[in-house]
Amino acid sequence: MSALNHLLLGSVATCAMIAALFFLRFWRRTRDRFFLLFSIAFAIDAVHRVTMALVEISDESQPGFFLVRLLVYLIILTAIIDKNFAGRK
C-alpha cells in the first residue's frame, strides 16, 4: 500500500472520529439513542480505517473488510429506522 493510501486512510479515520465525538456530544446533551448509534457507527469506521492502514493488506476484496462496513451501515440504518418509528409509538 502506498504512502498516499495511508495518508487518505488516516484522513478519513480522523474525520470519522471527529464525527463520532460530535454525535457523542449531542447524545450526552439529549440522551437520544439516534446520536449514540451514529457515534458508535463512526467510531467503528474510524477504528476500521486505522486497522486497514496498519495491517498489510494483500487483497481488499476479502469479506472481512466488507462485513465491518456492512455493520456500520446497519447501525446507521437502525438509528434512522428507530428514530422514525419512535414517534409513532
Q: pLDDT at position 81, please?
A: 95
pTM of the model: 0.88
User: What is the span of the domain harbouring residue 19?
Assistant: 3-86
Measured CA to CA, the distance from residue 24 to residue 60 in angstroms comes to 30
Condensed to tens digits (0 to 9), the pLDDT of residues 10-66 reads 999 999 999 999 999 999 999 999 999 999 999 999 999 999 888 876 666 778 788
Total domains in the fold of the chain: 1
Measured CA to CA, the distance from residue 65 to residue 59 in angstroms comes to 10
What are the cell numbers at 15? 474525520
- Burial (CB < 10 A; 0-12, 13-18, 19+), residue 87, is exposed
3-state helix, strand, coil in the chain (%, to 5): 85, 0, 15
